[in-house]
Amino acid sequence: MICVFDSSVWISAFQFGGTPLVALRAAYRQHRIATCDQILFEISRSLRQKFGWSPDRLEDALGDYLDGAIHVRISGSIHGVCRDPKDDMVFECAVAAGASVIVSGDKDLLAVKTYEGIRVLAPREFLQLMESQ
């Protein structure tokens, strides 16, 4: 299974741990994570500006996860999927990567539920899905 994690889950996982980190680790171990420059930029900007992370700390945290990740390029070609237009990039990333699931804590993304066969799940729901397989 290919999984796209939105920036809010990455940030929460790295800064606070808990269920988002468990979900991210499980996807890393058992599936493939896909991402794009735009998601990585949001992760970097937020952890550095809001939480004072150094570039080295950020690189260390992302390192292993990105080594085996699928990295896609997106162009902003998907519009109107999400009520927050800035979040359409997550759907474009998922489509480009051939993902089957988006893991998000963002209410705007979760409200979509499914797009082109890609399910949008909260981290806890994602873990439940993994347990049921």
pLDDT tens by residue, 1-47: 999 999 999 999 999 999 999 999 999 999 999 999 999 999 999 99
Confidence check: pLDDT of 85 > 90: no
Q: What pLDDT does residue 116 have? A: 94
Q: What pLDDT does residue 105 have? A: 94
Q: Percent of the chain, pLDDT > 90?
A: 87
Q: What is the mean pLDDT of residues 43-72?
A: 93
The rounded mean pLDDT for the chain is: 94
Cα of 79 vs its chain's centroid, Å:
18
CA–CA dist 36, 40 (Å, integer): 6
- 90 is written with which tokens? 């997550």
Q: Are 123 and 103 in contact (CB under 8 A)?
A: yes
| CATH fourth-level superfamily of 2-132 | 5'-nuclease (3.40.50.1010)
Q: Are 75 and 18 in contact (CB under 8 A)?
A: no
Beta-carbon contacts of 31 under 8 Å, excluding residues fewer than 6 positions away, are 1, 2, 3
- 70 is written with which tokens? 């699928």
Outline where DSSP puts E strands in 20-87.
Answer: 32-36, 70-72
Confidence check: pLDDT of 133 > 80: no
Q: Number of helices (H) and strands (E) in the chain: give both, helices first.
A: 7, 6
Banded pLDDT at 67 (limits 50, 70, 90): confident
Domain ranges of the chain: 2-132
Q: Are 85 and 68 in contact (CB under 8 A)?
A: no
Helix axes 37-49, 88-97, angle to 10 degrees: 130
